[in-house]
Amino acid sequence: MTDERYSRLAAEHLPADLAERWTALLRPCIRLRRVADGEQAVAALGGEPELPAGALWPEWPGHGLLSFIASVRCAVLPRAGLTAAFPQDGTLLFFYFDGQDDNADDGSFVSPYDPETWAGAQVLYVPGDTPVFRAETPQELEPYPQVELAAGVEESAPDLWLPQVREALLGDGRHWPDLRETPARLRPFLRAFRRLRTRIDHQIGGHAVPVQGPVEYEIANAALGSVHSWGTPVLDREAERWVLLVQFDSDSDAKMMWGDTGTLYWLIRPEHLATHRFDQARLTVQC
């Protein structure tokens, strides 16, 4: 692993018992960055996808065609950054309705809370032995410039509001108190964590790096079909059933801007990841 900053953070700022609980929550992930000379590309933003023979360009019926966001080449990803359930071959293709081809002309957008909009974000898995063709971008869409990405394996840390973190650091506490009321032995760690966790970037697997609070809660509330407050047991249980598939940040090189410099997050249940049911992945956007 090339980056273990969260383990070091715990060792420096937490008592030994809490440091052990915290590090048990960390997950490896793959962080993606623009390729440098001599590096292998494992993914790409934009460009044109290679679709299975006979496949149609993805669309949101009644609204329009989806823009191609990114491709991930599963076979060349560093396995140390992935769970065993992640595909070992083939390609993942990510499509999103960004409004370029808005047939409904009503400013429609994808919301995790509205099942009628879920077709506006699609993940296609193309197994390695599938015949493919390079699909030309439909004339209704302007393709995003292609940006090839290399990989590095890093630690990822859960958002502090997630139930497993509260349980590890606060015991039975349901909510983080105001910093002035936080137990003294946790304050240096909280301050250091907030200073350290400033990068969003592009990522595969691990814990999501949110812009505005845990994305797991957004997807969990949507899955439950009703809105529950943070810390409610039913919401905590549902949030723990979702894991990050990928996150794609706004990227000036690829001319991608998600809202006000936001990020696209695709989450999936582990059982669907294991069975390659990527049609069950769900998108949320934070900015």
pLDDT tens digit string along 117-131?
A: 999 999 999 999 999
Q: Two tokens at 78? A: 């560093």
Q: Are 264 and 258 in contact (CB under 8 A)?
A: yes
pLDDT at 156: 96
pLDDT at residue number 226: 82
Q: What is the pLDDT of residue 155?
A: 95
> What is the pLDDT averaged over residues 81-102?
96
Burial (CB count <10 Å: 0-12, 13-18, 19+), residue 178: exposed
Query: Which residue carries 């953070």 as its tokens?
Result: 9
Range of weakest confidence among 143-152, 225-234, 235-244: 225-234
How many residues appear in the chain? 287
In the block, which residue shows the tokens 């491709």? Answer: 71
C-alpha angle 84/285/51, rounded to 5°?
60
* Three-class DSSP category at 238: helix
* Contact indicator for 244, 207 with CB cutoff of 8 Å: yes
The pLDDT score that the predictor gives to residue 198 is: 83
Per-residue pLDDT reduced to its tens digit, 158-216: 998 888 988 888 876 556 655 556 788 888 998 999 898 888 999 999 999 999 989 99
3-class state of residue 220 by DSSP: helix
Average pLDDT over residues 47-72: 96
Dmax over CA atoms of the chain, in Å, equals: 62
Indicate the pTM of the whole model.
Answer: 0.95
What mean pLDDT is reported for the chain?
Answer: 92
Report helix, strand and coil shares of the chain as percent, to nearest 5. Answer: 25, 25, 45
